[in-house]
Amino acid sequence: MKVAFPHMGNAYIPLRALVEHAGAEAVVPERPNRATLELGARYAPEFVCLPFKITLGDCINALEKGADTMAMVCGMWACRFGNYGHVQHLILRDMGYEFESLLIGREDPRAVWEKVKSAVGKGAFRRLLGAAAIFRAKAAAVEEVECLVRFARPREEKVGEADALMERYLSRIDDADSIRMVRAIRRELREEFSALPLRPEDGILRVRIVGELYVLLEPSLNFDLVRRLGSNHGVEAQPILSTYRWLLSPLWLDPLLHLSSSRARRVSRAYLPYVLGGEEHMTIAGTLDAPRQGFDGVIHAYPLTCMPENICRTILPHISSARDVPVLGLCFDEHTSTVGTATRLEAFIDMLRSRR
Amino acid sequence: MNVVRERVSEGRPRIGMPRALMFYRYYPFLKALLEGFGCEVVASPPTNLRIMGMGTDLCVDDVCVAVKALFGHVRYLEGKVDYMLIPRLVSVEKKEYDTFTCPKLIAAPDMVRFSFPQLPPPLEFVVDVSKVPWWWGCLRLGRRLGVPLRGIARAYAAATREQRRFEALQREGLLPADALKRMENGNGLPSPGYASADRDVTVAVVGHPYLLGDSLVNKRLIHWLDSSGARVLASTMLSPRELEVEARKLPDLSWSYEWELLAASSHFLEKEGVDGLIYLTSFGCGPDSLVTEMVRREVPNPHKRAIMDLVLDEHSAESGVRTRAEAFVDLLRHRKTARPPGVLTR
C-alpha cells in the first residue's frame, strides 16, 4: 500500500512518519509550487477555492509518482473542505487514474479501520499507537522549529541564517526514526537557535496573521508571507493557526488546543453565534485579542470565494475600528501576483511604523 | 426583550423583508406569520439595477450575486421600516449526519448587522431543525415582538396554510416569482407560457430559488427560454417526495439545499420528456462549485441528455444569457430531429 496525502506546509513530516510507522509506504509529492497550482486549476472546477486546486495538483503529482491509495480528511461541515476528497477523487478517476480512496471522517470509521488492518497486517492496533506517538513527537518538533525561526528571522544579524537552520533541522526531523532521536534533535536545535547572533530589540513590529488555514500555512500559496515579513521587512509575523494545531486538535492529543479553540468560539459568539465550519472563530478571536497581546496589526489572508472568511471580512472592519487595530485583507487566487502582494505589504508595514 | 416598546414610530410595527435569498422560499410563511403577530410587512420591490448597484457597492467583492442583492434590498428598505427581518437558516432537515445550509445563509443576519451599523439589529427567524423544531423559531420571534402564546399559535397555523398554498402553486408548474404574484393577486392571472405542455422542447432548469426567482439576477433566462418556444421545468417545482426517491443514487451531502439541486438534476436527467438540463449557479457560490462537478461526473445520465452550466454574476449581460438560452434550445431541437426515430428514448 503506497499512501499519498496532499501537502500543507510542513505537515508532510509528521504524516510521513505516521504512515511509515503504521507499516505502509508513504508517497510524498514534491513541494507545491506555481506549476502544481496550474496543474490543479486545469482540472478543478472554475470557482472553487484555491486549496482545492493546489491539493488536486498534489494528488496528480503523487499518482504520477506511483501512489495507489489517496488519503484525505473529510467531514460533514458547512465549509467546502469536507467535500474536497470526494470531488477530487471523482475528478482523478475521470482523468483515468486508478487508486483506493481513504476518506477519513466521511467513510464509516470501521471501514477505514478494516482497510488499514488489511494493509498493515497483524498487530495493527499496536503499530498504530506507536505511529501516533512518533507522529505527535514530530509534529511538536516541527512546531518548535517554526516558532523559533519566526522569532529569530526579524532579529538575526545575518539575514537567512535562521532559515538555513530550519531547512537543516526539518530534514533531520524528517529522517529521524524514533522518538528518542526526535528528542535529541530538539535539544540540539534549541542550543543552536539560542547561539544564533541576534540584534538588540529596537521596537520590532509584531503582526498577527489570521484567516484560512491552508493559505496561512502553505508558503507556496501566500508567497511565503511569514518569511517575507520576517526577513525583508524585519516584522515578527505570527500566524494564529499552525500545522501542529491542525493535525492534533481533531485527535485529542493536546487538551490545550481544545481550550484555546473553545475560548475562541466563546469570544467570537457575539459576532458569529453559529458555527460556519471553517476557522472563522479563530479569525474573529485573533483579531479581537491582537491589541491586548501586543500585536501592531492584523493580516487577514484567505482564498478567493472562501465562505467563512468572506463572512469574517464583512465583520473585521467593525472590529478594526472598535479595537483600534489595523487590518489588511489579502485575497489569494491563482492570478494573484507577487508584486501586488509585496506592494500592499510594504504599504501596510509603513503604516504600522508611522502609527508607532 | 420586547422590541416593540423600543420603537420610535407609532401604530403597527413595520417590518421589512428584503426580496433576496430565502424570500423566494419562505415569504408567504413569514408574511402570514408577521401579520398574525400584528405587524405590517413591507417587502422590497423586485431587484432592479439601482438595488443591485447599491448591493455591489456595499458588499465585499467575492461573495455570490445573491448576497449582494440582499445588501441592496436592505439598503433600499433602510429608513422605510422599523425593523428588518432576515431569516437565519442553519439547518432545515434532520438526517443521520449533520446538515447545514450555505454558510452565508447561516450568517446573513450577522453580515447585515455589521455592514449596517446605523440600523437596529435585524430581527432573526432562526431555523435549526437538527437541534430545535421549526416552530421554535416562530415562538422566539413572536416573544421578541411581544405576542402572547395563543396569538403565536394562531399565526403559526395561518402561516403554515399560506406556505402550503405557495408550495402547491409551485408544484403546479409556476416559478417562485409567479407563484408569489398569484398569491397576491388571486387566481385571475393567465398561466405563463413556459408552463404550457404543448411545446416541442422541454428544458429543466436547476438552481436556487433566489436565482430562478430573481429575473434581474438570472437576466430573464426563463423569458428567453419561453420565447424560444421551450417548456420550462424547474427544480423548485419538485416535491420533497420526488426528491427523496433519488437519494439512494446520490452521495451524502451536508448542504441541504444543494442536495436538493443534486436530487433535482438526477430526477430531470431520468424523467420522461425532458430534453436538456440547465444548471443555474452564481459566481462565487461555494457549495455549487463542487455540486456542479458532482452533477457532471456522478449523477447518472442514462439518456445522455445535454447539460449546460450557466454562471451568473452582477456583470452578466442579458444578451449573453439570451444567446446561450436560444442556442441551447436550438441544440436540443436539433438533437431531437436529427436522431433516427428508433434511438429516441421516449
Query: Considering only alpha carbons, which residue of chain A is nearest residue B257?
Result: A78
- Name which of B286, B292, B293 is nearest A307 (Cβ-Cβ): B286
pLDDT interval class at B47 (50, 70, 90)? very high
Whether A285 has a pLDDT exceeding 80, the answer reads yes
pLDDT at B339: 62
Whether A242 has a pLDDT exceeding 80, the answer reads yes
pLDDT at A166: 93
- Give A240's DSSP letter: S
The answer to whether the Cβ–Cβ distance between B293 and A90 falls below 8 Å is yes
- Report the share of chain B in percent with pLDDT over 70: 95
The reply to whether A174 and A237 lie within a common domain is: no
Residues whose CB is less than 8 angstroms from the CB of residue A145 and which lie 6 or more positions away in sequence, other chains included: A166, A169, A170, A173, A189
* CATH 3.40.50 for the B12-169 domain, yes or no: yes
The reply to whether A155 and A279 lie within a common domain is: no
pLDDT interval class at B217 (50, 70, 90)? very high
Of the candidates B219, B343, B337, the one whose C-alpha atom is nearest the C-alpha of residue B278 is B219
The reply to whether A210 and A323 lie within a common domain is: yes
The reply to whether A335 and A215 lie within a common domain is: yes
Number of compact structural domains in chain A:
3
pLDDT tens digits for A21-69? 988 899 999 999 989 999 999 999 988 989 999 999 999 999 999 999 9
**Residue pair A300/A313 in contact by the 8 Å Cβ criterion:** yes
> Of the residues A80, A100, A121, which one is the last residue of a structural domain?
A121
User: Rounded to the nearest 5 degrees, what angle is found at the Cα of B277, between the Cα atoms of B192 and B62?
Assistant: 95
Percentages helix, strand, coil for chain A (3-state, rounded to 5) are: 60, 10, 30
> Of the residues A200, A235, A255, which one is the last residue of a structural domain?
A200
> Of the residues A162, A179, A200, which one is the last residue of a structural domain?
A200
d(C-alpha B247, C-alpha B263), whole Å? 7
Tell me the residue type at B90: V
The reply to whether A180 and A327 lie within a common domain is: no
Could you check whether B12-169 and B194-343 share the same CATH topology? yes
List chain B domain ranges: 12-169, 194-343
Query: Considering only alpha carbons, which residue of chain B is nearest residue A315?
Result: B114
User: Is residue B297 less than 8 Å (CB to CB) from chain A?
Assistant: yes
CATH number of B194-343: 3.40.50.11900
The reply to whether A234 and A192 lie within a common domain is: no
Q: Which residues of B touch A276 (CB under 8 A)?
A: 103, 106-107
The reply to whether A188 and A231 lie within a common domain is: no
Task: Please tell me the pTM assigned to this model.
Answer: 0.91
pLDDT at B1: 43
The reply to whether A248 and A291 lie within a common domain is: yes
pLDDT at B346: 45
Of the candidates B53, B60, B68, the one whose C-alpha atom is nearest the C-alpha of residue A311 is B60
Q: B92: alpha, beta or left, given left = phi > 0 and alpha = psi -120 to 50? A: alpha
The reply to whether A7 and A104 lie within a common domain is: yes
Of the candidates B291, B232, B283, B281, the one whose C-alpha atom is nearest the C-alpha of residue B256 is B291
Per-position DSSP letters for A115-178, written without gaps between them = HHHHHH-TTHHHHHHHHHHHHHHHHHHHHHHHHHHHHHGGGBSSTTHHHHHHHHHHHHHHH--S
The reply to whether A241 and A347 lie within a common domain is: yes
Query: Residue A174 sits in which domain range?
Result: 129-200
Provide the 3-class DSSP secondary structure of residue B8: coil
- Name which of B62, B99, B104 is nearest A304 (Cβ-Cβ): B62
The reply to whether A12 and A144 lie within a common domain is: no
CATH of the domain at A244: 3.40.50.11900
HSE value, Cβ hemisphere, 13 Å, CA-based, for B330:
6
Q: Is the dihedral of CA A4, A6, A9, A14 positive or negative?
A: negative
The reply to whether A214 and A356 lie within a common domain is: yes
User: Is residue B59 less than 8 Å (CB to CB) from chain A?
Assistant: yes
Interface predicted TM-score (ipTM) of this complex, two decimals: 0.89
